[in-house]
Amino acid sequence: MVGDDEMSIVLRRHIPVIIVTIIGIFLFFTYPIDNPVVIGTAGILGNWAMILASFALGIGAINMIVIHGRRVSEMRKGLWEPSLALLITMAAVLLLGLATSVKSDEYTLVYDTLVGAGRLTLVSLRGFFMFSAFYRAYRARALDGTVMLIVSILLMMYNVPIAELFFPQLNVFTQWLLDVLFVGGERGLRIIGGIGMIIITFRILTTADRSWMGREE
Amino acid sequence: MSFLERIPRRIIFLTLIIVVVVPILSPFPLPVPITKNTRNYYNIIEALEPGSVVFYGTSVETRDIEAYPQHVATLKHLKEKKAIVITYCFGAGTALGQEWVYEDAGYDELEYGTDYVHLGFVPGGDATLTAFCNDMVATKQVDHYGNPTATMPIFQKVKTIHDVDLVIASGGGTPGPDTYARIVVIPYDKVSIVQVPGAMAAMVYDFINLKVFRGGVIAQRGAVEYEAITGHAGRATTTFAPIFISSIVLILLMIFGNIAYVSNRMKEGQ
């Protein structure tokens, strides 16, 4: 007889690992194998992924309600007011969307006035702090800091474009920096990231890494 | 000299307010030379035949001064070329923001479902985009507004990514331009161009050098250039003067701040 605990471990740990390993290996081979059945099956799996992602959105919403609902019910100091505002706004926008549609003028107005304006305000405020931080933090304390300072100034002059209007030769140098040094660095990072991803995928497929399942109990 | 090294924050903020507000109240035109990337971006769209199908991954969330004018100018240009546009979003906010872009570019005057379709937010990132390339209708069965895609005239002609003539990638993160490059452009050998905010410019220079993206509108400067080249002066052009002046002020502050810093350290050393 298999005990409840052992069955639970099979359900929670072994079955997900088996599913992920089989599907992962299958999807890996859909790239080199040009077969309509294989590609079709991969498409079905892709659709399942979209359905799962939609569920993830729902779970995220529920999680948010639970976390902020707890803050409100426990009246946590300094936290319950914004949490209550969040829950009310969330419910109002949801009800409005269900009652009208995402195309309705009312829904668009809410998005324009709340999300659009709010986001722009945050970005604008950040601009002030960045302006101040650039002036205060960029100091030529050491060689690497000095190089970073010079490159930052050159890039600002390129982007605006002060260099092209007043110092055209400087712009040639900045263009070289962008085309050669930046691209070289970016490519190096991308290759390192790709190799890292291959290693992680291999570890997941061979069950050497099971951290994606959360904590082991 | 020590004052230049430690200018109080309130004076810096006040300076920034002045240098931003004054050019907004009395704007002035700035001559912005057209870069190779923007020129190539323009040429790719300009070469489209009427009825060409454009798959456009959009990323506008607010009426900002980078992504928003890039998108509006691009759609205005596509409208002139009588292109058929399919928009696809990785985020729920960008799906709503794209409604403004269609309206502000005048695409809403055209016939929905025939000249353009807004698929809206498509969850699932890489996996869904991969499936979408193989079968668009099966993967996205309803558009942003809940209309079934299967009956739309566009999708009688466009079934898979093979039926698309041009891919336009945009965005400021992942999923974003690199996702379109990996899943759509490179595997299917599609002609593609890109638009990104300045903070993400470094991410796409490599793709442009490798010709994965044949052209790019990069940062607000790119949007200003593109608005100039297409003759549709818009938000990027009108808001460029404050950025220009504030950048000059910031550069001067950084230079004088560092001169003061070095000078003071030298005095301390003596």
Look at residue A51 in the predicted model and tell me its pLDDT: 82
- What average pLDDT does this structure show over B2-26? 88
Verify that A144 and A199 share a domain, yes or no: yes
Is the pTM higher than 0.90? The answer reads no
Look at residue A216 in the predicted model and tell me its pLDDT: 59
Instruction: Return the axis-axis angle of helices B9-25 and B240-269, rounded to nearest 10°.
Output: 150
Measured CA to CA in angstroms, residue B8 lies from A128, B2, B247 at distances of 13, 11, 19
Smallest CA–CA distance from A151 into chain B, residue = B251
pLDDT tens for the 217 residues of chain A, in order: 556 777 777 777 788 888 888 988 888 887 777 777 887 788 788 778 778 888 888 899 999 999 999 999 999 888 999 999 999 999 998 899 889 877 788 887 887 788 778 888 888 888 899 899 988 888 888 899 899 999 999 988 888 888 888 888 888 888 888 888 888 888 899 899 989 999 998 898 888 888 887 765 5
Half-sphere exposure of residue B169: CA atoms within 13 angstroms, side-chain side: 31
**Position A82 in a domain:** no
A residues 169-208 near B, CB within 8 Å?
178-179, 182-183, 186-187, 190
Interface test with B, best of A103, A132, A154 (most B CBs within 10 A): A132
Verify that B162 and B133 share a domain, yes or no: yes
Verify that B140 and B254 share a domain, yes or no: no
**Position A65 in a domain:** no
B41 band by pLDDT with thresholds 50, 70 and 90: very high
Verify that B164 and B250 share a domain, yes or no: no
Which residues of B fall within a CB distance of 8 Å from A187? 206
Place of tokens 């305000």: A121
DSSP labels, chain B = -HHHHT--HHHHHHHHHHHHHHHHHS------PPPHHHHHHHHHHHTPPTT-EEEEEE---SS-SSHHHHHHHHHHHHHHTT-EEEEEESSHHHHHHHHHHHHHTTGGGS-BTTTEEEEEE-TTHHHHHHHHHH-HHHH--B-TTS-BSTTSSHHHH--SGGG-SEEEEE-SSSSSHHHHIIIIIHHHT--EEEEE-GGGHHHHHHHHHTTSSS-EEEHHHHHHHHHHHHT---HHHHTHHHHHHHHHHHHHHHHHHHHHHHHHHHHHH-
> Of A111, A131, A151, which one is at a domain's C-terminal end?
A131
From CA A101, how far away is CA A48, in angstroms rounded?
26
**Position B174 in a domain:** yes
Verify that A113 and A167 share a domain, yes or no: no
Which residues of A fall within a CB distance of 8 Å from B128? 46-47, 49-50, 53
**Position B30 in a domain:** no
Verify that A142 and A205 share a domain, yes or no: yes
Distance from CA of A183 to the nearest CA of B (A): 5
**Which structural domain range is residue A204 located in?**
138-210
Verify that A143 and A205 share a domain, yes or no: yes
**Position A15 in a domain:** no
Verify that B118 and B250 share a domain, yes or no: no
**Position B31 in a domain:** no
Give yes or no for a contact between B123 and B94, defined as CB atoms under 8 angstroms apart: no
pLDDT per position as a tens digit, B188-241: 999 999 999 988 888 898 899 899 999 999 999 999 999 999 998 888 998 899
Look at residue B24 in the predicted model and tell me its pLDDT: 86
Look at residue A1 in the predicted model and tell me its pLDDT: 53
What's the CATH code of the domain at B198?
Answer: 3.40.50
From CA A151, how far away is CA B202, in angstroms rounded?
13
Between chains, do B209 and A183 touch, taking CB under 8 Å as contact? Answer: yes
The domain tally of chain A equals: 2
**Position B88 in a domain:** yes
A143 to chain B, any CB pair closer than 8 A? The answer is no
**Backbone CA torsion sign across B45, B57, B171, B28:** positive
Look at residue B117 in the predicted model and tell me its pLDDT: 97
pLDDT per position as a tens digit, B52-105: 999 999 999 888 889 999 999 999 999 999 999 999 999 888 888 898 899 999
Between chains, do B254 and A186 touch, taking CB under 8 Å as contact? Answer: no
Q: Above 80 in pLDDT, residue B158? A: yes
**Position A206 in a domain:** yes
Q: Above 80 in pLDDT, residue B15? A: yes
Verify that B9 and B92 share a domain, yes or no: no
Verify that B14 and B67 share a domain, yes or no: no
Q: Above 70 in pLDDT, residue B26? A: yes
**Position B48 in a domain:** yes
Which residues of B fall within a CB distance of 8 Å from A149? 254, 258
Percent of chain B with pLDDT over 90: 65
Angle at B169 between CA B163 and CA B175, to 5 degrees: 110
**Position A186 in a domain:** yes
Verify that A153 and A110 share a domain, yes or no: no
Verify that B93 and B210 share a domain, yes or no: yes
- What average pLDDT does this structure show over B36-46? 96
- Beta-ladder partners of B88: B57
**Position A29 in a domain:** no
ipTM: 0.79
From CA B78, how far away is CA B76, in angstroms rounded?
5
A134 to chain B, any CB pair closer than 8 A? The answer is yes
Distance from CA of A118 to the nearest CA of B (A): 9
A136 to chain B, any CB pair closer than 8 A? The answer is yes
Verify that A142 and A125 share a domain, yes or no: no
Compute φ and ψ for B88, nearest 5 degrees: -135, 130
Q: How many CB atoms lie within 10 A of CB A189?
A: 13
A142 to chain B, any CB pair closer than 8 A? The answer is no
From CA B42, how far away is CA B245, in angstroms rounded?
27
Distance from CA of A74 to the nearest CA of B (A): 31
Look at residue B169 in the predicted model and tell me its pLDDT: 97
Verify that B82 and B100 share a domain, yes or no: yes
**Position B178 in a domain:** yes
**Which structural domain range is residue B260 located in?**
2-25+242-269
Query: What average pLDDT does the structure give for chain B?
Result: 91
From A27-36, B28-37, B99-108, B166-175, the region with the lowest mean pLDDT: A27-36
**Position A199 in a domain:** yes
Q: Above 60 in pLDDT, residue B242? A: yes
Between chains, do A53 and B124 touch, taking CB under 8 Å as contact? Answer: yes
The domain tally of chain B equals: 2
B4 band by pLDDT with thresholds 50, 70 and 90: confident
From CA B177, how far away is CA B218, in angstroms rounded?
12
